[in-house]
Amino acid sequence: MADKTQAGDRTEANEAQIAVHWKEEQYFQPSKAFIDQANMRDPNIRTRFGEDNFPDCFKDYADMLTWSTPYDKVLDTNNPPFWKWFTGGKLNASYNCIDRHLAQYRNKAAFIFVAEPEEDPPVVLTYQELYIRVNEMAALLRDFCGLKAGDRVTLHLPMTPDLPITMLACARLGVIHSQVFGGFSGHSCGSRIEDSGSRILISTDAYWRSGKLIDHKVNADIAVQTAEEMGQHVDKVLIWQRYPGKYSSPTPMVKGRDFFVNDVLKQYAGKYVEPVPMDSEAPLFLMYSSGTTGKPKGCQHRTGGYLAYVAGTSRYIEDIHPTDTYWCMADIGWITGHSYIVYGPLLLAATSVIYEGTPTYPDVRRPWRIAERLGVNIFHTSPTAVRALRRLGPDEPSKCNYQFKHMTTVGEPIEPSAWRWYYDEVGKGQAVIVDTWWQTENGGFLCSTVPALDAMKPGSAGPALPGIYPIIYDDDGEEVAKGSGRAGNMCIRNPWPGIMQTIWGNDQRFVDTYYKRYCKNPQSKDWRDWPYMSGDGAMQAEDGYFRILGRIDDVINVSGHRLGTKEIESACLTVPEVAEAAVVPVVDEIKGRVPDVYVALSPGDYKAEEVAARVIQACDDAIGKIARPRHVYVVPDMPKTRSGKIMRRVLGAISNGADVGDVTTLANASVVEDIRVVVRDQNAGGKPQG
């Protein structure tokens, strides 16, 4: 039977509805060949990580790290929900990712960089070479920029090795890095500079994307200006050159403020910087993510717990061995890249591939050529990429001579038909698949099968990871019966080492967002009273597997990445003619969801088409192209409740061609029909009317 979520069906309004159409699927078993070599083969792993052994079970992960001072306590719950992990311990992230591997793996590849232009051969960075570069960069950050432990630095870098070199150089000094996804606009970078209080911005001149060498330096200027306007001064802008020795951007350098990293680095050639032993609880990095308000939150991740958690999950769930060539196609600018391109693989001395460009450039066979050429055996990507690669080149993987042992999917629910193509064609029927559910806040995976132990079930992320105890609550705070298949709010009962420490500079928002709703007793120091609320809907089947249904808040998951509707709406409202804006998610056959924008204009004589173009430009400028609306509908008025609230539900239904339901309680019910006409005309090929 065709499943309802296949390409072409755009009538579903939300993930919950989609989920209902997914039947329970058959199980797939991992192959004997995979099992025989797997890192985690102990069938008692979940008992070992069970509640009776919590939190000490996580010593297993902490032991994967090298501590300069051993920790004395696994978990400190004195100030809920501000948990502390491995307290008393000290360690350095850069030392753990690099130095400690040198004796055994000095000239093994740490990173292999694949540039987008295919005529450029892959560039190998050995552990030794990475060590040299990170030390030199750390010397530059310390001596040229005056940075020290605890300072924040904003990075706005694309997918080249300069990014992990910079991250690891910061980590060597205990400087907190805050990498902003390279595709985000200069403006969003600037507001993150301000929020984090960075006085140094590290960017680049240019990078390749879909065959174009994109000017990125221009964003640095916008970012600095935005930050200045918000009250944060930037002293220095460091610009990496995509081609060292050559400036590839038309945007001028600002004298006295902007410096080429490559030039300045010459003063630090061969310098060694002692890795600074950091408290286990010292922040390692910030990663901004969208929430329900307009202001992105800086998820603050700790050193010890985070590193322990990504090491453990990279070993057991990603099944990374030092001999593996591992390729995660995500961007390092997202949490997936931090945890599972940089920190996790390097902690395990693996070889991690960094690909600069678009997966489908110059053609849809590119990923499979890369896999063949580099001998990639572990592959990691999103359902969005799987859908796109399938649609454009369903038979392409078979034309390349590679063989994966293991594949990951992350970021959004994957529909069973896409899962099966991934399994049959990309994995050639031999690779095990893990569908990993987690969030920027979480540091690492929360739900997934343990690949050698649990059967795979398409469309379900699987059981919780060892040491993670989920619970589904209904809106009244009652537990939804385990295994009942009923939907509710996905929560985690216990703390785990990868959970963020707080929202940078906003402890109250941290408590309110994740813990307030289901906290059983705000006075309690017992972790059992403080379940973490994920913001996702989920249901658990009889076999204990979780199916994630998507966000229950005002967050749109575009290609597996979060955009706040409020952020997009504020961008639309910067267009002077726009009086009101509402953003709703519309189902997209490739990206999962994309934003649709409805705007009502202030009185005046405007061309709807022109306003719509300005709205799109405003979204590009404020956030980045990732937030670009599919449609901008200029409507006569918004559907509103009697108290004046915009009914986004009604707009969402119209966008998705679904039933709008009961609208009789609206203050202006008749506008619904007018809006429907606007939408229908525009989708019939018409231009926005004005």
List Cβ neighbours of 21 (8 Å cut-off, separation of 6 or more). 3, 4, 5, 12
For the chain, state the CA radius of gyration: 25
Q: Find the binder of ligand WT7 among 557, 565, 656, 682 (CB under 6 A).
A: 557
Does position 183 interact with ligand WT7 (CB under 6 A)? The reply is no
Does position 489 interact with ligand WT7 (CB under 6 A)? The reply is no
List Cβ neighbours of 567 (8 Å cut-off, separation of 6 or more). 290, 294, 296, 622, 623, 627
From the list 433, 414, 436, 412, the residue with the least C-alpha distance to 559 is 412
Does position 436 interact with ligand WT7 (CB under 6 A)? The reply is yes
* Residue pair 166/157 in contact by the 8 Å Cβ criterion: yes
* Residue pair 560/592 in contact by the 8 Å Cβ criterion: yes
Task: Provide the minimum distance between the beta carbon of 414 and ligand WT7 in the complex, in angstroms, as a whole number.
Answer: 7
Task: Provide the minimum distance between the beta carbon of 195 and ligand WT7 in the complex, in angstroms, as a whole number.
Answer: 17
From the list 460, 472, 464, the residue with the least C-alpha distance to 446 is 464
Site for ligand WT7 in 525-544 (CB under 6 A): 534-536
Does position 331 interact with ligand WT7 (CB under 6 A)? The reply is no
Q: Find the binder of ligand WT7 among 440, 501, 559, 682 (CB under 6 A).
A: 440
Does position 504 interact with ligand WT7 (CB under 6 A)? The reply is no
Neighbours of 187 (CB within 10 A): 22
From the list 645, 467, 635, 660, the residue with the least C-alpha distance to 554 is 645
Q: Find the binder of ligand WT7 among 335, 353, 594, 611 (CB under 6 A).
A: 335
Task: Provide the minimum distance between the beta carbon of 572 and ligand WT7 in the complex, in angstroms, as a whole number.
Answer: 22
Paired with 176 in beta bridges are 152
Does position 111 interact with ligand WT7 (CB under 6 A)? The reply is no
Residue type, 320: I
Based on CB atoms, which residue is closest to ligand WT7, 364 or 491?
491
Does position 258 interact with ligand WT7 (CB under 6 A)? The reply is no
Burial grade of 270 (CB within 10 A; 0-12, 13-18, 19 or more): exposed
Based on CB atoms, which residue is closest to ligand WT7, 18 or 622?
18
Q: Find the binder of ligand WT7 among 140, 284, 461, 672 (CB under 6 A).
A: 461
Q: Find the binder of ligand WT7 among 5, 185, 203, 336 (CB under 6 A).
A: 336
Based on CB atoms, which residue is closest to ligand WT7, 133 or 561?
561
Does position 551 interact with ligand WT7 (CB under 6 A)? The reply is yes
Based on CB atoms, which residue is closest to ligand WT7, 240 or 437?
437
Neighbours of 232 (CB within 10 A): 19
Peptide bond into 81 cis (omega under 30): yes
Task: Provide the minimum distance between the beta carbon of 194 and ligand WT7 in the complex, in angstroms, as a whole number.
Answer: 21
Site size toward ligand WT7, by CB under 6 A: 24
Take residue 630 and report the two structure tokens written for it: 């599919």
Does position 412 interact with ligand WT7 (CB under 6 A)? The reply is yes
Based on CB atoms, which residue is closest to ligand WT7, 321 or 628?
628
* Residue pair 155/167 in contact by the 8 Å Cβ criterion: yes
Task: Provide the minimum distance between the beta carbon of 656 and ligand WT7 in the complex, in angstroms, as a whole number.
Answer: 18
Task: Provide the minimum distance between the beta carbon of 110 and ligand WT7 in the complex, in angstroms, as a whole number.
Answer: 23
Residue type, 576: P
Does position 435 interact with ligand WT7 (CB under 6 A)? The reply is yes
Site for ligand WT7 in 560-599 (CB under 6 A): 560-562
Task: Provide the minimum distance between the beta carbon of 562 and ligand WT7 in the complex, in angstroms, as a whole number.
Answer: 4
d(CA 497, CA 492): 13
Q: Which H or E element spans position 24?
A: none
Does position 89 interact with ligand WT7 (CB under 6 A)? The reply is no
* Residue pair 204/217 in contact by the 8 Å Cβ criterion: yes
Task: Provide the minimum distance between the beta carbon of 289 and ligand WT7 in the complex, in angstroms, as a whole number.
Answer: 5
The residue length of the chain stands at 690
Burial grade of 204 (CB within 10 A; 0-12, 13-18, 19 or more): buried
Q: Tokens 């726009």 belong to which residue?
A: 578
Compute the Cα dihedral for 9, 15, 17, 21 and give only its sign: positive
Task: Provide the minimum distance between the beta carbon of 204 and ligand WT7 in the complex, in angstroms, as a whole number.
Answer: 23
Q: What DSSP state is assigned to residue 343?
A: I
Stretch that binds ligand WT7, among 69-77, 128-136, 495-503, 557-565 (CB under 6 A): 557-565
d(CA 11, CA 575): 31
Based on CB atoms, which residue is closest to ligand WT7, 289 or 501?
289
Q: Find the binder of ligand WT7 among 393, 488, 550, 595 (CB under 6 A).
A: 550
Q: Find the binder of ligand WT7 among 275, 345, 413, 451 (CB under 6 A).
A: 413
Does position 411 interact with ligand WT7 (CB under 6 A)? The reply is yes
Does position 410 interact with ligand WT7 (CB under 6 A)? The reply is yes
Helices (H), 40-113: 45-48, 59-62, 93-97, 102-105
Based on CB atoms, which residue is closest to ligand WT7, 158 or 550?
550
* Contact flags string 286-305 toward ligand WT7, x per CB under 6 A: ---x----------------
Does position 438 interact with ligand WT7 (CB under 6 A)? The reply is yes
d(CA 4, CA 264): 57
Give the footprint of ligand WT7 on this chain (CB under 6 A): 289, 335-336, 410-413, 435-440, 461, 534-536, 548, 550-551, 557, 560-562
